[in-house]
């Protein structure tokens, strides 16, 4: 993938068919899913149009080529997160499936009645519900780690909650509602001091930070492709090899076995033991393409780009009476807010609908974070989330549409 020597927003936007087709939508919902660059779309098209074949099955040249590229994609992810081995990279359908896999293998196999799973109050439902399910299955308990008034992980409360009963700590690298960058380094260190394993949900964080799982020393790190400019339906579970080796299998079927008989079945080693059935080959190849494409940009230039947009967005919102920004983070690509007019709370969906009618796509609702909304005492927010392709004109169009929506309200 060619290096992009300087950040040219117009050149970036030209790489996204969605922004250059018939649609006039201003897309400000990248925290939900990103639009895809042409190189990612081309990878998918080329695979299905020129080389479609299953992997790790058969002896013809098409399957050999697909298998080679499939495993090269795994090695690309390994380098991307600095895993010590490609055996530590497990393909999943996304971050949600990855957390469920951990819960139904590692957690279900090790938890006992009375054990505790500490989960942050600001987590996405995908990092809460799987732990509740396995807690019901094992007799363990899910314990909430509260947030502070400024939407931060409460480290003092966290350290007080840690005990010999703590077996798992689950935290987002970066939250999806406020873009709070949680202190995962300290969270992991304290978890290990208590004898617990640390599970980091990187679905939002990996988009904006370089991740080194060996330096972090996390036990598990998960992320989705579709928030990383790759397709939906592909994700990654990283786990330390020693832990993955001890975990029981989850899905049964082809590829994850060595020998099957009605008397006894033996299972494959890593990473195949967790990859039953035909995988999303095109998705894996396209994820590798997206990673290589992103790595062509200078991190500092991307940060500067996001910072410029964030400052313009926040300044505009601060000049609108009745807007309350929720948990604003200084280096975020996400801004969530509520609106009150003459003492009356305006429903977030009404705002989003009026924006949509003007061609502005934002997210409204609880953002799969009910506990966070309950802690804030609100039923939802409007969320504006930025992508690499957004420009200052997008922010101006959003602010103009928001002011018009407020006039209509």
Shared-domain flag, residues 269 and 355: no
Least confident of 2-6, 136-140, 179-183, 186-190: 2-6
The mean pLDDT of 24-33, rounded to a whole number, is 97
- Are the CB atoms for 222 and 216 separated by under 8 Å? no
- Is residue 345 in some structural domain? yes
Residue 36 lies in a domain: no
Shared-domain flag, residues 129 and 221: yes
CATH, residue 259: 3.40.640.10
pLDDT attached to residue 59: 82
Domain count for the chain: 2
Does residue 2 fall inside a structural domain? Answer: no
Residue 392 inside a domain? The answer is yes
Domain stop point among 278, 294, 310: 294
Residues 274 and 320 grouped into a single domain: no
What's residue 5's pLDDT? 56
Under a CB-based contact definition with an 8 Å cutoff, are residues 324 and 338 in contact? yes
State yes or no: pLDDT of 3 exceeds 60.
Answer: no
Same structural domain for residues 193 and 52? yes
Instruction: Mark whether 182 and 243 lie in a shared domain.
Output: yes
Query: What's the average model confidence in pLDDT over 26-42?
Result: 98
> Are residues 110 and 54 located together in one domain of the fold?
yes
Mean predicted confidence (pLDDT) in 310-319: 97
99-146: per-residue pLDDT in tens? Answer: 999 999 999 999 999 999 999 999 999 999 999 999 999 999 999 999
**Are 87 and 172 part of one and the same domain?**
yes
Is the overall model pTM greater than 0.85, yes or no?
yes
Q: Is the pLDDT of residue 290 over 80?
A: yes
- The pLDDT, as a whole number, for residue 21 is 77
Tens of pLDDT, residue by residue over 251-278, are 999 989 999 999 999 999 999 999 999 9
Statement to judge: residues 360 and 234 lie in one domain: no
pLDDT at 331: 86
* Claim to verify: residue 243 and residue 376 sit in the same structural domain: no
User: What's the rounded mean pLDDT across residues 379-393?
Assistant: 97
Question: How much is the mean pLDDT over the chain?
Answer: 96
Domain interval for residue 365: 9-30+298-408
205 falls within a domain: yes
Residues 239, 331 within the same domain: no
Summarize pLDDT for 199-245 with one digit per residue, the tens: 999 999 999 999 999 999 999 999 999 999 999 999 999 999 999 99
Confidence grade of residue 98 (pLDDT, cut at 50, 70, 90): very high
pLDDT at 22: 75
Q: What CATH number should be reported for the domain holding residue 19?
A: 3.90.1150.10
Report, as residue numbers or ranges, the catalytic residues: 368
13 and 120 co-located in one domain: no
């Amino acid at each position: 993938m060619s290096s992009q020597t300087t950040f040219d927003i117009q050149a970036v936007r030209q790489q996204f068919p969605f922004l250059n087709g018939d649609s006039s939508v201003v897309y400000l919902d990248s925290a939900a899913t990103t639009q895809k660059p042409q190189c990612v779309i081309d990878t998918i098209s080329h695979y299905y149009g020129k080389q479609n074949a299953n992997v790790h099955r058969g002896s013809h040249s098409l399957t050999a080529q697909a298998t080679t590229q499939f495993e090269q994609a795994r090695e690309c992810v390994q380098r991307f997160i600095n895993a010590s081995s490609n055996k530590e990279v497990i393909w999943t359908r996304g971050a949600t499936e990855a957390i469920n896999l951990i819960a139904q293998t590692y957690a279900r196999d090790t938890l006992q009645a009375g054990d505790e799973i500490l989960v942050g109050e600001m987590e996405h439902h995908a990092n809460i519900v799987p732990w509740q399910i396995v807690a019901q299955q094992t007799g363990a308990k899910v314990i909430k780690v509260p947030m502070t008034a400024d939407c931060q992980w409460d480290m003092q409360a966290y350290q007080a909650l840690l005990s010999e009963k703590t077996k798992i700590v689950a935290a987002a690298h970066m939250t999806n509602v406020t873009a709070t960058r949680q202190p995962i380094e300290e969270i992991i260190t304290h978890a290990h001091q208590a004898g617990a394993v640390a599970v980091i949900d990187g679905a939002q964080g990996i988009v904006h930070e370089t991740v080194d799982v060996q330096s972090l020393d996390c036990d598990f790190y998960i992320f989705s492709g579709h928030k990383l400019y790759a397709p939906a339906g592909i994700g990654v579970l990283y786990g330390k090899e020693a832990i993955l080796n001890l975990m029981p299998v989850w899905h049964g079927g082809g590829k994850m076995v060595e020998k099957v008989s009605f008397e006894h079945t033996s299972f494959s080693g890593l990473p195949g033991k967790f990859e039953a059935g035909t995988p999303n080959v095109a998705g894996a190849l396209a994820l590798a393409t997206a990673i290589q494409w992103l790595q062509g940009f200078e991190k500092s230039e991307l940060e500067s780009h996001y910072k410029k947009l964030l400052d313009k967005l926040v300044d505009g919102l601060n000049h609108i009476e009745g807007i309350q920004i929720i948990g604003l983070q200084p280096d975020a690509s996400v801004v969530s807010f509520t609106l009150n007019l003459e003492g009356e709370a305006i429903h977030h969906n009404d705002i989003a609908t009026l924006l949509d009618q003007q061609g502005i796509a934002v997210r409204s609702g609880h953002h799969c974070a009910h506990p966070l909304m309950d802690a804030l005492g609100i039923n939802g927010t409007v969320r504006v989330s930025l992508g690499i392709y957004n420009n200052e004109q997008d922010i101006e169009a959003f602010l103009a549409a928001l002011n018009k929506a407020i006039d209509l309200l």
